[in-house]
Amino acid sequence: MNRLFTFLMCSLLLTTACQAKTETTSTERPPVAPATDTAPAVLTAQTTTPAQPPAGEAPTRQESPSRVATAATPATIAPDEPASPSITAPANTEKEEIAEAPVETITRPTPDPVGASEVIGAPSHTAWTNLLQRYVTTAGKVDYAGFQSASGELSAYLTTLAAETPQPDWSRNEAMAYWINAYNAFTIKLIVDHYPVSSIREIDNGDPWNTTWIELAGHTYSLNQIENEILRKRYPDARIHFAVNCAAQSCPPLYNRAFTANNLDATLDQLTRRFVNNSRYNAIGANQLELSKIFEWYAADFGDLVAFLQPYTSTPLQADARIRYREYDWALNNQ
Residue numbers of the domain that contains 81: 55-97
pLDDT number for residue 2: 52
Residues 213 and 139 in one domain: yes
pLDDT number for residue 18: 45
Residues 138 and 199 in one domain: yes
The predicted model scores a pTM of 0.66
Radius of gyration of the chain (CA): 46
Q: Which helix (H) or strand (E) holds 169?
A: none
C-beta of residue 330 within 8 angstroms of C-beta of residue 245:
no
DSSP string, 221-262: E-HHIIIIIIIHHHS--GGGGGTS--SBTTSPPPPSS---TT
Q: Going by C-beta distance under 8 Å and a sequence separation of 6 or more, which residues neighbour residue 100?
A: none
Q: Which helix (H) or strand (E) holds 324?
A: strand 322-325
The angle subtended at Cα 53 by Cα 51 and Cα 58, nearest 5°, is 115
Separation of alpha carbons 309 and 287, rounded Å:
13
Residues 76 and 159 in one domain: no
pLDDT number for residue 71: 36
Whether 193 maps to a domain, the answer reads yes
Q: What are phi and psi of 324, to 5 degrees?
A: -135, 160
Residues 234 and 152 in one domain: yes
pLDDT number for residue 122: 80
Residues 132 and 267 in one domain: yes
Q: Residues of 190-203 as b/e, b for ≥16 C-beta within 10 angstroms?
A: bbbeeeebebbbeb
pLDDT number for residue 115: 39
Residues 150 and 259 in one domain: yes
Residues 235 and 128 in one domain: yes
Residues 168 and 224 in one domain: yes
Residues 134 and 267 in one domain: yes
Q: Which residues of the chain have pLDDT under 50?
A: 17-18, 20-117
Could you tell me which of 254, 244, 236 has the C-alpha nearest to residue 294?
A: 244
Tally the domains of the chain.
Answer: 2
Whether 71 maps to a domain, the answer reads yes
Q: What are phi and psi of 77, to 5 degrees?
A: -120, 155
Helix 264-276 with 172-194: angle, nearest 10 deg: 60
Chosen domain end from 272, 287, 317: 272
pLDDT number for residue 38: 40
For the beta carbon of residue 301, count every other beta carbon within 10 angstroms.
16
C-beta of residue 172 within 8 angstroms of C-beta of residue 163:
no
pLDDT number for residue 44: 37
Side-chain half-sphere of 217: how many Cα atoms within 13 Å?
A: 11
Whether 50 maps to a domain, the answer reads no
pLDDT number for residue 100: 37
Distances (CA, A) of 302 to 110, 207, 232, 248, 259: 35, 25, 12, 21, 22
Exposure of 43 by Cβ count < 10 A (0-12 exposed, 13-18 middle, 19+ buried)? Answer: exposed
Chosen domain end from 248, 272, 296: 272
Could you tell me which of 207, 264, 263 has the C-alpha nearest to residue 231?
A: 264
pLDDT number for residue 325: 99
Length of the chain: 335
Residues 175 and 258 in one domain: yes
pLDDT number for residue 164: 87
Helices (H), 111-263: 126-135, 144-149, 151-163, 172-194, 223-224, 232-234
Whether 319 maps to a domain, the answer reads no
Break the chain down into helix, strand, coil percent, rounded to 5: 60, 5, 35
Residues 74 and 171 in one domain: no
Chosen domain end from 245, 272, 299: 272
Alpha-carbon torsion (276, 282, 286, 289), positive or negative: negative
User: What residue type is assigned to position 310 of the chain?
Assistant: Q
Residues 127 and 259 in one domain: yes
